Structure 1
Amino acid sequence: MAASGLYLSGDPALWCSHPGYRAVLLYPSGTLPRGSPPDGDGFPLLLADRVGGRLPAGSVFSDSIRSFFLPSPATLSPGGSGYRRCTVLPQCGLYPSYPRLLLDLPGAAIMRSPYLFPILVIGCSLLFQDLSSHLYGQFDLTKKRLHTLSESTVTILEKFDSEPLTAKIFLDESDVDRSRAEGLIRLYRKALPTLRYEFISPTKNPFQVQEYGIDRNGMVLWEWRGKGVKTTGFSEEVFTSGLRKLVDPRTYSCYVLKGHGEKDPEKDFPFLKQRLEEENYVLRVLPLEEAGEIPRDAELILWIGPEEPLLEKEAALLETYLKSGGRMVICLDPLVAAASGASEFFFSMLGVVLDSRVVVDMRSQLFRGDFFFATATRYPTHVITRGLNRVSVFPLARSFSIDPKRVDRKRAGVELYPLAETSETAWAESDKDSLRSAAPRFDPAADLKGPVVLAVALELQNLESTLTQKGGRFVLFGDSDFLTDRYVKIGNNLDLFLNAVAWAVEREDGIALRPKDPLHQPIILSRSETLLIGIFVIGVVPGCWVLLGVYHIRRSRRFHAVSE
């Protein structure tokens, strides 16, 4: 008989001495006649069965039982027979009533005890809990390092010298934010060993609350070199913002142009406004037509999402401002009149050619189903784009290019740097009818083939002989919707814009990767990746369950047939 199965011996002489159990040995079928005593060369496999649950001697089982129950010899010997020592494995699906036998194993008496084993487990748990409360350590396994201090935070902490930085955290012990505050402040302490902190309960220490002017639970008082800054909340953005004001209290005067249908900072991008203020930018509204001049303290001018073009007088003021070393960041949407008239002349002075073409990117179908959602996947080398490694999304972007015929950049001293580009599969579509019908097609004669530039930085040096040595800086984005609360947290949108603002005002410490929001990290997949995931979820996973069910049914039928 072919040795295709395992032989089950139910000889009572092989019973174990442990009360309530008996042992049975499995041998290859065909190697031993039924009923003959096994020798020491048999398979070292042992099954345990409760007394009273009889197993038919001579039953044949599949070879898979050998690997299913036990792949290696161990420490249990049949009752005094002198045969090979074997191991009893835990209960399995074939015999659900089989328990694990713990005989002749080190510490088996403790593990069999209904009292000592639970006490041992509870004691070890309490010991580990006590050690974890005194020894702090963590490993950030997230791909985007969500639980590690960001580059901008590390840059700020490096500015603190040997003089200790102190943090007084006013928080009750029972507060739900206590554990989060402890974990965050430990990260800062790890990066800055001179940091000293203490938790103060406002309920138990009302006099200290009054002394330091604390008006709510959850405030932190940072002190360094006799100066103090208060923050509210427990997040890396809040902590770093307070430390930035402590080590560099300088503020930057930033004016937002108004009067051309621009986006309102309070209504359209409140989150971005908050982040700008946290980084020491003071935002003010500037109705340029009414003011008639640009304020002398204007360190930066923002022009975000205008719908109407500049007046000739306004364009002349901005041109003079840039030539005299001014700084501007402009976000210009497509399909609006803001790029015409005096605005067009203003941009042409810089050598930037604005057209009416709209960027089409087929990758955008992964976001909301249409193809106007341009994605920037390439970041040419520049200080602004340093460290950016994720996509930036522009819901509706325009294209622009540089015309060397309009301005001699080498003579005029205009240096241009592309910041963000689409993939090669995107293009700038000129046919408005195809856009309305949602069926754009690339036309080599009229369209601009990708990669399409979505953002550009310009640096002006000595445009006229009477200029000072300080040159103007100018950053242009082909979209403004990417700054709204709906999109600004996606990918590198926030970092790209804030880095551009910091570069414009020559603030090197403001150019860095900022803390990411762990609650808003969408996964952006390519078309092939989406297809593979769909095949796996819809086809592979259900198919595996079906095959597993068929296998289980066939195995059960075969077992019952053999038993009968």
Structure 2
Amino acid sequence: MSFRRAPALEFALSAVLAFVLLFLVTVLLSRHDLVLDLSLGQRRTLAPQTVQVLEMVERPISITAFYTDDPAEQARLLNLVQRYREHTRLLELEFVDVDRRPDLAREYGVSTNRTVVLEDGDLRVRISDPDEARLTAGLIRVLNAEPPLVFFVTGHGESSVEDDSGSGWMEAARMLLQQNFALRTLSTAVIERVPEQASLVVLAGPELDLTPGEITVLEQYLLRGGRLLAAVEPGGSRSVDSLLTLWGIQPGNGYLIDASDEQRNLLGGKEEPLIALAMGGNPDHPITRGFTFATFYPISRALLAVEPPPAGVETSWLVRSGQRTWLERTASTDAATVYDAGIDLRGPLALGMAATIDLSAFAAGAVSVRGLTGNLLEMASDEIDLRDPTLAADQQLGDEHFAGGLGDNARMVVFGDADFASNANLRVQGNGDLFLAAVLWLTEQEDRIALAPRPELSDPFILGARRTQLLQWIGIGVVPLLFFLAGGLSLWRRRRWV
């Protein structure tokens, strides 16, 4: 009799011990999250830059999410905010149904679904379709209050940020607004000085020449430590070409021809030699470090580094064409093109370049664009001598040009095509990522480059509230029950053999 009771007692004790251990493990896991990111490339792990921003949060920030009754979309945002809350408990999330609370939506200036409003006191920042990049950018805006101010130069046939046609830059403007930049237009013809609060000035494919006075405005802005993004087109402004050349980046005369197999394959076998392709980017520059996407440039110019470089100027290529490309210097875009040795320039050729200018070193050997503009327009670009010792004294830069500086160095990014960032092409392959990375580097936000929106590689499986509750009951009730059943089966089998 005692022999038969021993297994039963042993089973009961084992079952109780297993239940207690399971209960303790469940309690510990409920209080201390254990997260294992097994996704490809750890795409569910917050970027280090996001973690740095979250560590800066010192006061409560409310997140009001205006969503329709869509559990899957709400779960995406909730999951993201929960990952943020692992680093700070000062984020408060509340969902509001846009259809049920139109009054609150109007109060917050929300008119579309999937809009999030970050709120810190009287400051409100709206974000559409929030992902990690946009939500972190919104937090930066809330923490810093003043967004970087980007000026787009107008009046010379530039691509317009208000133009929604294929050639306009409205999508580029929308991308910057989503990243919490403030945008303004700037007419250099009616000002004497770029505003001090400018974080960046953009020249989006000017077709007409700028006047000497306008060139001087941009020149003095750079000499004060300004930031310039220039996209130049074949046959575009020669005065802008001259300005860029004096700062170390020379736009080549002509247009790029791409006869590579990679370009033709990515275009579905089409013969489009005027569309230049760049694969990846310069791994040694912050803008393109880790950049592996393809980028496209319809009817582009090649960019050349001035040799020898001006004093204090350091240039780097960002993206460049392949081996089977060349800079066509003779034929028009309508004519059949053949590489002419000795005339055309064979690739690889830069399609995007960056320059960093040490102003203290640049001051010693620089020459004034204002004094040279007239001469430069009469000279071939490859004949420019940047250090001509015969320049008159009034053409040399004086110390007054460097007074009241914005910083000790200037930055410049040049692309050989303005259409790569147009509405028609910004979302093609990596064009938008490259454009945004260039703007972030120019505005000294390199840490945010890694936060560019990452596309989903697959549709995640997201559980609704009912299924989540069901899984919880399975862990609490079903799993212990299985232990009891297994023990009962073992006891029954033992009794059969006794």
Name the TM-score, length of structure 2 as normaliser: 0.65
Question: What one-letter code is carried by the residue in structure 2 that aligns with 1:321?
Answer: Y
Out of 498, 514, 519, the residue aligned to residue 452 of structure 2 is 514
Which of the numbers 408, 416, 423 marks the counterpart of 1:478? 416
SS of equivalent to 1:181: helix
In the alignment, which residue of structure 2 is the partner of 1:495? 433
Give 1:14's aligned residue: none
Equivalent residue for 2:327? 428
1:289 alignment partner in structure 2: 189
The CA deviation string for residues 510-558 of structure 1, in whole angstroms up to 9 with x for no partner, is 3224114569xxxxxxxxxxxxxxxxxxxxxxxxxxxxxxxxxxxxxxx
Pair 1:351-2:225 in alignment: no
Offset of residue 232 of structure 1: 5.4
% identical aligned pairs: 24
Q: 1:229 to 1:331 in 2, by over 3 A?
A: same
**Distance change >3 Å, CA 162–CA 307, structure 1 → 2:** closer
CA change 1:141–1:371 in 2 (3 A) is: farther
Matched AA of 1:377: M
Is this contact kept in 1: 2:254–2:329, CA < 8 A? Answer: yes
Higher relative contact order (CA 8 A, sep 6+): 2
Q: Distance in 2 between matches of 1:455 and 1:253?
A: 23
Shift of 1:397: 1.0
2:229 alignment partner AA: V
Shift in CA distance, 188/202, structure 1 to aligned 2, threshold 3 Å: closer
| Pair 181,485 (structure 1): closer, same or farther in 2 beyond 3 Å | farther
Is the alpha carbon distance of 1:347 and 1:239 closer, same or farther for their aligned partners in structure 2, counting shifts above 3 Å? Answer: closer
Question: Which residue identity does 1:370 align to in structure 2?
Answer: E
Alpha carbons 1:386, 1:512 under 8 Å: kept: no
Shift of 1:203: 8.6
**What residue is the counterpart of 2:221 in the other structure?**
321
Question: Matches of 2:169 and 2:99 in 1, distance apart?
Answer: 41
Name the aligned partner's letter for residue 277 of structure 2.
T
Matched position secondary structure for 1:346: helix
- Structure 2 stretches of 5 or more lacking a match? 1-32, 365-398, 458-498
Check 1:446–1:322 CA distance in 2 against 1; reply closer, same or farther (3 A cut).
same
Residues 329 and 221 of structure 1, relative CA distance in 2, 3 Å threshold: closer
- Other-structure match for 1:373: 275
Contact 1:388 1:513 in 2 (8 A): no
TM-score between both structures, scaled by the size of structure 1: 0.58
Q: Relative to structure 1, is the Cα distance of residues 296 and 154 closer, same or farther in structure 2, using a 3 angstrom cutoff? A: closer
- Distance in 2 (CA, whole Å) between partners of 1:208 and 1:437 is 61
- Tell me whether 1:169 sits opposite 2:65 in the alignment: yes
Kindly indicate whether the alpha-carbon contact (under 8 Å) linking 2:249 and 2:315 is maintained by their aligned counterparts in 1.
no
With over 3 angstroms needed to count, the CA separation of the structure-2 counterparts of 1:354 and 1:383, relative to structure 1, is same
C-alpha offsets along residues 412-467 of structure 1, whole Å, 9 cap, x if unaligned? 2111111111122222122315x4234x3222311211111111111111221534
Higher helix fraction (1 or 2): 2
What is the alpha-carbon distance in structure 2 between the residues aligned to residue 453 and residue 214 of structure 1?
44
Aligned partner of 2:335 in structure 1 is: 437
CA shift, 1:253, in A, is 2.0
User: Of residues 159, 176, 190 in structure 1, which corresponds to 2:83?
Assistant: 190
- Deviation, 1:370, is 0.7
CA distance in 1, matches of 2:153, 2:275: 26
Larger radius of gyration: 1
- Name the residue aligned to 1:388: 291
Please list every run of 5 or more consecutive structure 1 residues that lacks an aligned counterpart in the other structure: 1-134, 520-564
Are the counterparts in 2 of residues 302 and 330 from structure 1 also a CA contact under 8 Å?
A: yes
CA contact (8 A) 2:128 2:178 kept: no
Distance 1:489 1:211, change over 3 A: closer
2:263 alignment partner in structure 1: 364
**One-letter code of the match for 1:420?**
V
Structure 1 pair 323–206 and aligned structure 2 pair: CA distance change class (3 A): closer
1:402 matched to 2:295? The reply is no
Q: Which amino acid aligns with 1:502?
A: L
CA distance in 1, matches of 2:257, 2:275: 7
Matched residue, 1:253: 149
- C-alpha distance in 2, partners of 1:518/1:400? 34
Which amino acid in the other structure matches residue 295 of structure 1? P
1:299 aligns with 2:184: no
**What pairs up with 1:44-193 in 2 under 5 angstroms?**
148=44, 151=47, 154=50, 157-161=53-57, 166-171=62-67, 175-176=69-70, 178-193=71-86
| Mapped pair 1:333 → 2:233 | yes
Deviation of residue 485 (structure 1)?
1.9
1-structure distance, mates of 2:450, 2:327: 31
Does the 8 A contact of 1:250 with 1:280 survive in 2? Answer: no
The separation in 2 between residues aligned to 1:233 and 1:185, in whole angstroms, is 15
Match status 1:459 vs 2:369: no
Pick closer, same or farther for the CA change 1:198–1:205 going to 2, 3 Å.
farther
Asked if the contact 2:281–2:319 (Cα under 8 Å) also holds between the matched residues in 1, the reply is yes
DSSP-derived class of the 1:472 partner: strand
The answer (yes or no) to whether the contact 1:156–1:240 under 8 Å persists in 2 is no
Correspondence 1:217-232 to 2 at 5 A:
218-223=114-119, 229-231=124-126
Partner of 2:482: none
**Count of aligned residue pairs for this structure pair:** 371
Q: Is 2:168 the counterpart of 1:265?
A: no
1:269-302 per-position Cα deviation (integer Å, ceiling 9, x unaligned): 2121012122232211111112343223322110
CA contact (8 A) 1:149 1:187 kept: no
Other structure's SS at 2:73 match: helix
The superposition leaves residues 386-412 of structure 1 with CA deviations (integer Å, 9 ceiling, x where unpaired) of 22111111122101212325xx53xx2
Distance 1:198 1:316 in 2: 50
